[in-house]
Amino acid sequence: MSLRDMIDHIERVTRRLPTAKEREGLRIPPEVRDFRRAYYSAPYGPDHPGKGGRVPAPFYDAREEHDLGLCFGTWCRDDRQCLVGADCPWRHYLDTFAIGFIWRSGANDEGHKFLVKALKCLQAGDQEPVHTYRPFSRR
């Protein structure tokens, strides 16, 4: 999926809030993990809200074990600037399934709110993020 396709899909799904019936049908993407023990320090400090550059799952109101491993810089910084670049272990792109998962997450529409904010960040950046995600093995 290209950056333009990803932005277009987020624009489409965030035009309205998910219904209760849509939330009931929440399917978990196969790539989710529990990243609470994963920590990448450089160049982020221990006080960084993303704990090593990762967007914590509660930001989009998912449970910790349903973490998508999103890059904090790409998804939450106003300039869509990842501080690590090509060596970043976190996701800079999402497919439609993962976007739908975030949109449906949370009883208080936190997933929808997260995507609306992320869309502004994605549209503000002047360069396209690199594909970087390297899946962690399940243990």
- Domain map (residue ranges) of the chain: 3-124
**Mean pLDDT, residues 124-137:** 58
Contact 76, 50 (CB under 8 A): yes
Query: Structure tokens of 4?
Result: 């333009």
CA distance 90 to 133: 5
Structure confidence at residue 42 (pLDDT): 47
Classify burial at 35, counting beta carbons within 10 Å of its beta carbon; exposed 0-12, middle 13-18, buried 19 or more: buried
Contact 106, 18 (CB under 8 A): no
Provide the mean pLDDT of the chain: 75
Structure confidence at residue 33 (pLDDT): 75
Residue 14 has pLDDT above 80, yes or no: yes
Predicted TM-score (pTM) above 0.85: no
Residue 61 has pLDDT above 60, yes or no: yes
| Residue 9, phi then psi, degrees to nearest 5 | -65, -40
